[in-house]
Amino acid sequence: MDIAQQILQVLNAQGQLELAGLGMLSLITKHAELDVQNDKILPPKKELIFNLDRGQKADNQFNGLSSQILKDLLENGNYDLAGIGKWTNFAGKINFVADSQIAGNDFYGFEEIEVPRVGADAPQLMPSLDEDYKFNKSILWTFLVVIPIAGILYVAFTQKDKLFGKSSFKSVELSKIEKQPTKPAVVDSLNVKPSDSIKSDSLSQPINNTIK
């Protein structure tokens, strides 16, 4: 059994592997995801990741491998372990890229799903789809504009007092004033004093008749 198979065996059993003075390899389960570049839906799978830790301590059968990886990174700038991945050292920064063909990296029985690309090259099965969409959109906007306005007008007329408050002055309806007919005065003949006809006649005679 080569070194790569031994590492995968430990990872499948424990989920992680310490590399002294280098870091830790971990085998995680990755959920289904959308591959936009290749237009595919990738099913769940296992993924190998590496966390750099120069202070990592370990006491296992892979201590010699850790020393060899560090030596090659310092001298050559990279170390490639077939079936596991590749370490690179660029300006003192160590990176790791897992091998795309990791043993045991199955898809749990699920297959990749290709997603058809929708764009300008796609055949137009319904030529009038755009026109129908514009027509439906105009109707929708009409309803969205007309219905709120109608509702506001309805509330304004029916709930005037709640919206604007009650008026401070109430309209008073003036009743028509009917003119009462005047009754003729009744003269009591018993209380009427007889006029002094003699006195009135003497006063009415001309003065010239008295002087002769």
Dihedral sign, Cα of residue 89, residue 90, residue 95, residue 100? negative
Mean pLDDT, range 120-144, rounded to an integer? 62
pLDDT recorded at residue 79: 94
Winning range, highest mean pLDDT, from 106-110, 160-164, 194-198: 160-164
Q: Is the pLDDT of residue 80 over 90?
A: yes
Q: Is the pLDDT of residue 88 over 50?
A: yes
Please name every residue paired with 111 in a beta bridge, in sequence order, or none if there are none: none
Q: What average pLDDT is seen over the chain?
A: 73
The one-character DSSP state at 15 is S
Q: Tell me how far apart the alpha carbons of residues 27 and 146 are, in angstroms, rounded to a whole number.
A: 60
First-last CA distance in the chain: 187
The backbone torsions φ and ψ at residue 189, rounded to the nearest 5 degrees and listed phi first, read -65, -25
Q: Using CA atoms, how far apart are residues 120 and 125, in angstroms rounded to an integer?
A: 13
pLDDT at 28 over 80: yes
Q: Could you give the CA distance from residue 63 to residue 69 in angstroms, rounded to a whole number?
A: 10
Higher pLDDT, 143 or 204: 143
Mean pLDDT of the region 171-183 = 53
Tokens of 107: 């898809």
- Kindly report the pTM of this predicted structure: 0.47
Asked whether residue 135 carries a pLDDT value surpassing 60, the answer given is yes
Tokens of 152: 């506001």
pLDDT of residue 203: 45
Mean pLDDT within 81-100: 90
* pLDDT higher at 104 or 59: 59
At 209 the pLDDT is 47
How high is the pLDDT of residue 138?
73
**Alpha-carbon torsion, ordered 110, 97, 19, 78, to 10 deg:** 150
Report the pLDDT value the prediction gives residue 200, as an integer from 0 to 100: 47
Judge whether residue 125 has pLDDT over 50.
no
Mean pLDDT (whole number) for 117-129: 53
